[in-house]
Amino acid sequence: MLKNYLKEIHGVERQGDAREESVYPALKQLIEYFAKDLGKAHIHVTQNPRGTETHFLEEAGSAERKTAAEYLRALEKIDLLKGHKIGKENFFLNVPLYALLTG
């Protein structure tokens, strides 16, 4: 399955106009495969993780960037999210989901 996933994202990348969202279907399929293999077939994967980055909240009109960052940091304080800085962006890992998939 991992080999198929890598082949799929390589094909997407070769198109030359791929965005992060372009690999979501392949990633969804990979996560659901491993979830089922781990006996967690009830896990549902949302392909577009809106709400886990400040600009998604801002673009949706849900909050200004500063307010969105405050919301995400509040969720981090109660251990629902774990922030990771990658380049200029802060990304947040859904801790309970990660634990469910890896535990």
5 and 68 Cβ atoms separated by less than 8 Å: no
Q: Say which amino acid occupies 44.
A: H
Q: Residue 37, class by beta-carbon neighbours within 10 Å (0-12 exposed, 13-18 middle, 19+ buried)?
A: exposed
* Residue boundaries of the structural domains of the chain: 1-43, 49-103
Residue 24 is predicted with a pLDDT of: 80
How many whole angstroms from its chain centre is CA 44? 13
Is the per-residue pLDDT at 4 higher than 80?
A: yes
CA-to-CA distance for 65 and 11, rounded, in angstroms? 34
Is the per-residue pLDDT at 52 higher than 60?
A: no
Q: Say which amino acid occupies 68.
A: A
Residue 77 is predicted with a pLDDT of: 92
